[in-house]
């Protein structure tokens, strides 16, 4: 079995940062990533799309980071999926190109990033309804934009960024803003960070100005959004309005990807400001499991600059724990990333308050499908909760939701919120969904191909 | 449905989507190829057979499941295109079991 000092799951900003720092202290490092290239979501396909004027300004800061990562001496395995992690023994079970392998690591950094918050509105299973992130991925990986009439509905920084990028590419969307919190009330709750976060704030305001300059039309205060059509989305409707639509892009912010951190049983805490769970970590990413750290958006949403800083800190902490860095050296090296993360997170309380997800998204109407894989409605989940399904794990037995191919990645937050509502308890009082390995489907053939050489080795 | 911007990303890789040749940029996923081929519904859901298209394109939702080079139920968004790749819509369980 291959052995490494440090294994990093995910080659986004956090994973790259961890690898760079650990390598600089002489650790042997393996970085694996499900995607074909480094960069994570924010710098996805950066090497291919860095000259596309639609996305180039936002990709530019990622290019030197990717270059530094590729030169740092870490073993980098793209297109590689983690399907099981044994946190006690530090054994990672991987599959790549149909071949399963195992790697043992003295320390593991999960840098698995974020996913878009599910946006269960009526009609969201119609073809042509996608996440805003999906359209951005089409732009970055294929240079493509939605054809026809595009509606971008939701709220948060990505809405403005994507609106601008689509407009630069010649496909300005109609933006339906679903924000329910006023700027004044967000300021009242979290005004303190505006001065320290003024660089980020200026970036955001510049994006909004660019959107308007490029002709993006914005409807504010949209409530009761629904997608309509026969076999595909043809129209969107909301309270007091409607518009024809060929592609509907939804976005209500992002939440940590906790699939692996939950599967290995790490302690998690409810993040009320972001209405999601996050693994409990110390300042350097260390978790309730002695061998495992979590860095980046997977430990709580902060954006790529905070993720990079957190990754660097987790890499330094790995070096300290494995004896490659003494306390004085650690303190000196950690000061920079700690300050960078503080600066990157300064605006976050304001953004969290301003873009709090509307209640209707967290607990959809009875007729709306909550579990897309097994096609289970919110109403069915409410009924099951009332007759005794106490948590998402029990809900699997009642309705199969969480047992489809996504394994609860997408329905999990909605199912938990519906159970909380139906049982009259706080969201954090709902027992969490416990994902099981394999974290992603693996063929029997891939498993068999691993077993054969091992047996020969024993013989 | 999506339209390419050849001025930004030339289409250099030819794949077969539902038997039809489509050229797409290098680095695009099989799911992107289906969308660029003009498919809106890229699969049928397993339970009711309802038409579905990709939702997240980042490996989370599994709504882009497709048959790729003869292997069914693959996450098409996680598979980069390769020359000659054969991509078929994933049919729902009811259809597949017939």
Tell me the pLDDT tens digit for each residue of B13-53: 999 999 999 999 999 999 999 999 999 999 999 899 999 99
Q: Looking at the structure, tell me whether residues A259 and A290 fall in a common domain.
A: yes
Whether residue A143 sits in one domain with residue A74: no
Extract the residue ranges of chain A whose pLDDT is less than 70. Answer: 451-459
Would you say the ipTM is above 0.95? yes
Residue that is written with structure tokens 């024993």 in the block: A458
User: Could B41 and A372 be called an inter-chain contact, meaning their C-beta atoms sit closer than 8 Å?
Assistant: no
Residue position matching structure tokens 């679903």: A178
Which chain B residue lies closest to A258 (C-alpha atoms)?
B60
Q: Tell whether A78 lies on the interface with B, counting CB pairs under 8 A.
A: no
Q: B33 to chain A nearest CA, in Å?
A: 9
Q: Looking at beta carbons, which residues of chain B come within 8 Å of A138?
A: 2, 32, 35, 57
| A367 falls within a domain | yes
Q: What is the pLDDT, as a whole number, of residue A1?
A: 87
CA distances from A370 to A277, A325, A402, B20, B51 (A): 18, 48, 10, 35, 17
Inter-chain CB proximity B51 and A53 less than 8 Å: no
Distance from CA of B85 to the nearest CA of A (A): 15
**CATH number reported for the structural domain that contains residue A379 in this entry:** 1.10.10
Answer yes or no: do A301 and A248 share one domain: no
Q: Do B60 and A410 touch (CB under 8 A)?
A: yes
Residue B97 has pLDDT above 70, yes or no: no
Tokens found for residue A121: 């509105």
Same domain, A165 and A234: yes
What string of DSSP letters covers A321-350?
A: HTTSS-HHHHHHHHHHHHHHHHHHHTTHHH
Model pLDDT for residues A125-179, shown as the tens digit of each residue: 999 999 999 999 999 999 999 999 999 999 999 999 999 999 999 999 999 999 9
Interchain pair A142, B28: CB under 8 A: yes
Q: Is A355 among the domain residues?
A: no
Predicted local distance difference test score (pLDDT) of residue A327: 98
**Cβ pair A410:B35 closer than 8 A:** no
B residues 62-81 lying closer than 8 A (beta carbon) to A: 62-63, 65, 71, 73, 75, 77-78, 80
A450 touches chain B (CB under 8 A): no
pLDDT the model gives residue A458 = 43
Instruction: Verify that A20 and A47 share a domain, yes or no.
Output: yes
Q: Which candidate, B90, B83, B76, places its Cα nearest to that of B24? A: B83
Residue A20 CA to residue A17 CA, distance in Å, equals: 5
CATH number of the domain within which A89 lies: 3.50.50.60
**Is residue A369 one of the residues assigned to a domain?**
yes
Rounded Cα gap, residues A137 and B25, in angstroms: 13
The domain B13-96 is placed in CATH, from the list 3.40.50.2300, 3.40.50.1360, 3.10.20.440, 3.30.450.40, at: 3.10.20.440
Is B14 an interface residue toward A (CB < 8 Å)?
no
Do A84 and A188 lie in one domain? The reply is no
Q: At what angle do helices A13-24 and A62-70 cross, to 10 degrees?
A: 40
Domain end, chosen from A218, A252, A286, is at A252
Per-residue pLDDT at B93:
66
In this structure, the answer to whether residues A94 and A20 fall within a common structural domain is yes
Predicted TM-score of the model (pTM): 0.96
Domain carrying residue A161: 118-252
How many domains does the structure of chain A reveal?
3
Show which of A189, A218, A252 is a domain's final residue: A252
Q: How many other C-beta atoms can be found within 10 angstroms of the C-beta atom of residue B77?
A: 28
> A261 in a domain, yes or no?
yes
């Amino acid at each position: 079995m291959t052995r490494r000092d440090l294994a990093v799951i995910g080659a986004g900003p956090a994973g790259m940062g961890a690898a760079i720092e650990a390598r600089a202290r002489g650790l042997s490092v393996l970085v694996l990533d499900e995607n074909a290239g480094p960069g994570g979501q924010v710098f996805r396909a950066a090497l291919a799309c860095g000259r596309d004027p639609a996305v180039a300004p936002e990709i530019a800061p990622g290019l030197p980071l990717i270059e530094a990562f590729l030169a740092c001496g870490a073993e980098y395995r793209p297109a590689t999926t983690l399907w099981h992690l044994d946190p006690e023994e530090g054994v990672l079970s991987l599959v790549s190109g149909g071949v399963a392998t195992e790697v043992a690591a003295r320390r593991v950094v999960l840098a698995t990033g974020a996913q878009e918050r599910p946006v269960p509105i009526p009609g969201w299973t119609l073809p042509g309804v996608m996440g805003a992130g999906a359209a951005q991925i089409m732009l970055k990986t294929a240079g493509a934009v939605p054809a026809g009439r595009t509606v971008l509905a939701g709220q948060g920084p990505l809405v403005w960024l994507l609106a601008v990028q689509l407009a630069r590419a010649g496909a300005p969307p109609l933006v339906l803003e679903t924000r329910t919190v006023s700027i004044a009330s967000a300021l009242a709750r979290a005004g303190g960070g505006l001065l320290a976060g003024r660089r980020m704030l200026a970036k955001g305001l510049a994006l909004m100005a660019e959107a308007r300059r490029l002709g993006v039309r914005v409807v504010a205060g949209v409530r009761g959004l629904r997608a309509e059509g026969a076999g595909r989305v043809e129209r969107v409707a909301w309270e007091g309005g409607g518009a024809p639509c060929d592609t509907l892009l939804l976005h209500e912010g992002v939440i940590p990807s906790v699939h692996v951190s939950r599967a290995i049983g790490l302690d998690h805490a409810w993040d009320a400001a972001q209405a999601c769970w996050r693994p409990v970590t110390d300042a350097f990413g260390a978790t309730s499991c002695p061998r495992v750290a979590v860095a980046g958006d997977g430990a709580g949403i902060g954006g790529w600059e905070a993720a990079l800083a957190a990754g660097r800190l987790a890499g330094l902490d790995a070096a300290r724990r494995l004896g490659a860095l003494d306390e004085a050296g650690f303190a000196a090296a950690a000061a920079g990333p700690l300050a960078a993360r503080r600066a990157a997170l300064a605006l976050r309380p304001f953004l969290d308050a301003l873009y709090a997800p509307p209640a209707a998204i967290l607990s959809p109407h009875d007729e709306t499908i909550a579990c897309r894989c097994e096609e289970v409605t919110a109403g069915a989940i409410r009924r099951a909760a009332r007759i005794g399904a106490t948590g998402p794990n029990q809900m699997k037995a009642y309705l199969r939701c969480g047992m489809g191919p996504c394994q609860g990645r997408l329905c999990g937050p909605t199912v938990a919120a519906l159970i909380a509502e139906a049982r009259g308890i706080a969201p954090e009082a709902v027992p969490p969904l416990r994902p099981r390995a394999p974290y992603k489907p693996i063929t029997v053939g891939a498993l068999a191909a691993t077993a054969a050489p091992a047996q020969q080795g024993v013989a | 449905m999506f339209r390419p911007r050849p001025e930004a990303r030339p289409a250099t890789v030819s794949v077969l989507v539902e038997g039809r040749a489509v050229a797409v940029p290098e680095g695009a996923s099989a799911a992107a190829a289906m969308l660029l081929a003009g498919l809106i519904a890229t699969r049928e859901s397993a339970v009711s057979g309802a038409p579905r298209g990709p939702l997240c394109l980042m490996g989370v939702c599994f709504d882009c499941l497709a048959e790729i080079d003869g292997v069914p139920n693959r996450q098409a968004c996680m598979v980069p295109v390769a020359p000659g790749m054969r991509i078929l819509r994933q049919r729902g369980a009811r259809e597949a079991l017939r």
